[in-house]
Every structure is written in structure tokens, then in C-alpha cells.
A and B are shown apart, each in its own frame.
Chain A
């Protein structure tokens, strides 16, 4: 089966600019996650979707981050405006079984200068 697709792979922007990331999960996977991974740390959950509904966005900085999952398939994560501390790898993951392992995409490496 095809993996989780993410784009772009890399993005460099200036602070206060906006940026968007895209994720296409594995076909049929109802649950989709966005994680932020700062260099040298483990991934930290930003938001979890079940189909097109938000299950958990308690750690999403809602003043600048937003995410949507239209039609319960693809998802986009947006940052507006970006700050220097948003420099990180943004990982998308999906799973069909809430109690199973996650399949991760290769991530988008964001550098804010």
C-alpha cells in the first residue's frame, strides 16, 4: 500500500509569513495526526482528526496554527504568522486501528528565519 504522503519536504520562510503543509494519509485510514518535532526532541501532538472531525487539538497554538481535514481524507496544517520557534519537522501520521501502530509520512522540515 502507498504510504502517507506529505508536501513540501522542505520550506524556508521569514518570520511573520504564513505557510501550509499538506498530508494525504493511507487510503481508508480514518484517524489522522499532525505532530511537531523540534530538533533533538520527540514528536509532540498538535491535532488529531477522526474522519473530518477534530478529536484533540488541546496542544495546538490556535492563535497561529490551524488545520482542517476536508471530506475526511487529505489534511492541511497552516501557520500564520510564523515565529522562529516554529522551526521544526511537521509529521503527519494515520492509522486505521485506534489501538494499533501509526504510519508516518516523511515530514516537512520548516525553517523560519
Chain B
């Protein structure tokens, strides 16, 4: 079963704009991770946020976590055409391997 569900399913923006993707999950977690997948490739780990953290930054990425609402968001600032990819959230409950959501397909128009 899917633990995390991303919203929106697809997002199209212009280069330079910010992109925000949301993830909701169902059970308590140890951490939540975001991954990027370029077409036809494997997933690349972007950032991990632990359950006792509320916000984390990495370069142009900003992740927030609200455990009371069981939700997370990924913000990509000043997007570039190279950011075009699918983005997945994944939850670590500490009891089994990562469970991935269905992903958000981001298209950044040059």
C-alpha cells in the first residue's frame, strides 16, 4: 500500500519560478525522505528530515514536516529546466523499508 501520497500529480512552471510539492502519509514515522527521478533513470536521494525536525534546507531545496498533520512539503526555489523530473516522498517507519508515494511530475519550461 502507498504510505505517502504526493500532490499535485503533475506541475508545470516557468524557469525561475518556485515549485511546491506536498506529501501526506498515514502512520507515524522516524523520518521522511524526498527523491528525484529523471526519466528512465533511478532515484536520487535529495533530503531527509527526521520526525523531530520541522524544517530543513539543502541548496535550493526547502523541506517542511508537520507530524501533527502527517504532511510534508518540498519547495524548489528559482527552478531550472534541469529540475524537470518526478519527485517522490518516502516514509521510514523504522519497522520496514522505505514506502514511496506515487510522485509529482514536475515540468520546468525554459
Contacts and interface: CB of A to CB of B under 8 A. Distances in A.
A103 B46 CA distance: 11
A105 B37 CA distance: 11
Contacts of B4: 42
Nearest to A47: B97
Contacts, number: 52
A48 B42 contact: no
B102 interface: yes
B41 A106 contact: yes
Interface size class on chain A is 20 to 34
B96 A42 contact: no
Interface stretch (A12-20, A67-75, A76-84, A94-102): A94-102
Given A91-B42, A99-B92, A101-B45, A43 B31 contact: no
B92 A43 contact: no
Contact of A42 (B48, B94, B100): B100
Interface string A28-43: 0000010100001111
Interface majority SS (helix, strand, loop, mixed), chain B: loop
A107 B35 CA distance: 15
A106 B31 CA distance: 24
A39 to B, nearest CB: 11
B64 interface: no
Contacts of B2: 42
Interface in B62-110: 88, 92, 94, 96-103
B33 interface: yes
A42 B31 contact: no
A104 B97 CA distance: 13
A101 B33 contact: yes
What 5 A-B pairs are tightest by C-beta distance, nearest first? A101-B45, A42-B100, A104-B42, A104-B43, A106-B42
5 contacts: A42-B88, A45-B99, A99-B94, A102-B43, A105-B42
Interface of A: 4, 33, 35, 40-45, 48, 55-56, 91, 93, 99-107, 109
